[in-house]
Amino acid sequence: MNPPEKPAPPKSADLRSNQVPWGAPKPKATPSPPEPPAKNLSAKKVPWGARKERPAESTAPLSPPPPDAMLTHMPWAVPTRPPLPPPAAPNLPAKKISWSSRKPKVVPLAPVPPPPTSHTTWALPKGAVPPPAVDQAEMEFARELRTADDHEPSAEQLVAYLSRLTSRKGEPQAPPTPQTPYKARPISFEPTRWDIFLQWAHAHRRRLSLGSALFLLIISTAYLLRLVSLNAQIDREWRVIETALHNRYALVPGYVECIAIYSDNESYAFAMAQRMSTAWRKARTDHQIASAAVQMERVMSLLTKVMNRYDQFVPLKDPDQADASANFLRLERQRERSRRETAELVQHYNTVARNFNDKVEGFPGSVIAWLAQLHPHALIFSSDN
């Protein structure tokens, strides 16, 4: 019988990698000796043999060792001061609530039926489910979870404040305060009338721009035609006034003949009448005609005064003087009739001229008149001139 074979000794590579050959018995692990408990040793270096352990039964605090002058180069060896105890919490007084403002017991309210769907889901998108209603218990639980706030009003104060608020219709609303509850506005997904109009205007913007340009062109043309018609009417009125003035001042030679029958010594009156008549015939522009008309009125007044003097202070009149007096009365009647006609024509002319000037000096008449080369007209025989 052959003796059992001994296992081959492990190789050096196996010993380095702690690998055991297949089939070899596993070596028993030797238990490591327990480590001694760590001692609370300070970092301060002391000579060997001078270390003294603190007896376990002594509970009195040890006084710190005196500072060593040789260990100033080792800051980690300096004993540190123990941390300070945390500060005590301040003694906050409790909130004082008056006996009358103590929160009453909550009386459960009767369940309120939900409003119709057409009024509750109008602000929700299609297919959305409205959130469930919150009961009184959940509201009380949420109110209790809120943090305490000394400035927060109580439920009684909110009810009293809301009861003093004015209605939304017909009365001005009270100014909001920091304690006023926020009321969110309802959200509507339907477009307003202004949004609909903007969308329509954007879709037809080309037609609207073309129509606006045509409208402005039509208005400007109508305004220009109105100004042109007023200007033409002023010219017609001026020609009528000029004809009436020519007929009126044609009576001046008759006054001169009547005065000449009585006396030939009125050289001043005759010279004034001759000079002003010549200026009247030579007047061409509107301003010259108006100035000559004013001078002719003064000449006619002068001749009337001279003729009245001779007619009153000559007691005995020959047949020629009597005919001159009769002719003078006829001239006076014609002069008065022409004065009334001329006054009406001048008043109508000034009215049309004021209307034209207001349109030309205003807007947009000033721009149109500047483009059409139209100018305002001066008033004649008026205090405004």
Report yes or no: 262 and 321 within 8 Å, Cβ to Cβ.
yes
Averaged over 268-291, what is the pLDDT?
91
Between 99-103, 182-186, 215-219, 366-370, the lowest mean confidence (pLDDT) is in 99-103
Q: Which residues make Cβ contacts (< 8 Å) with residue 240, sequence separation at least 6?
A: 345
pLDDT of the residue at 315: 79
pLDDT per residue as tens digits for the range 223-239: 999 999 999 999 999 99
pLDDT per residue as tens digits for the range 343-385: 999 999 999 999 999 999 988 889 999 998 999 998 888 765 5
Mean pLDDT of all residues belonging to the chain? 77
Predicted confidence band of residue 121 (pLDDT cuts 50, 70, 90): very low
Q: How far apart are CA 326 and CA 332, in angstroms?
A: 10
User: Quick one: angle between helices 319-361 and 205-249, nearest 10?
Assistant: 170
Q: Both ends of the chain: CA-CA distance in Å?
A: 163
Report yes or no: 325 and 317 within 8 Å, Cβ to Cβ.
yes
Averaged over 307-326, what is the pLDDT?
88
Predicted confidence band of residue 331 (pLDDT cuts 50, 70, 90): very high
Q: How far apart are CA 252 and CA 277, in angstroms?
A: 8
pLDDT of the residue at 329: 93
pLDDT of the residue at 138: 77
pLDDT of the residue at 120: 46
Sole residue written with tokens 């009417």: 233
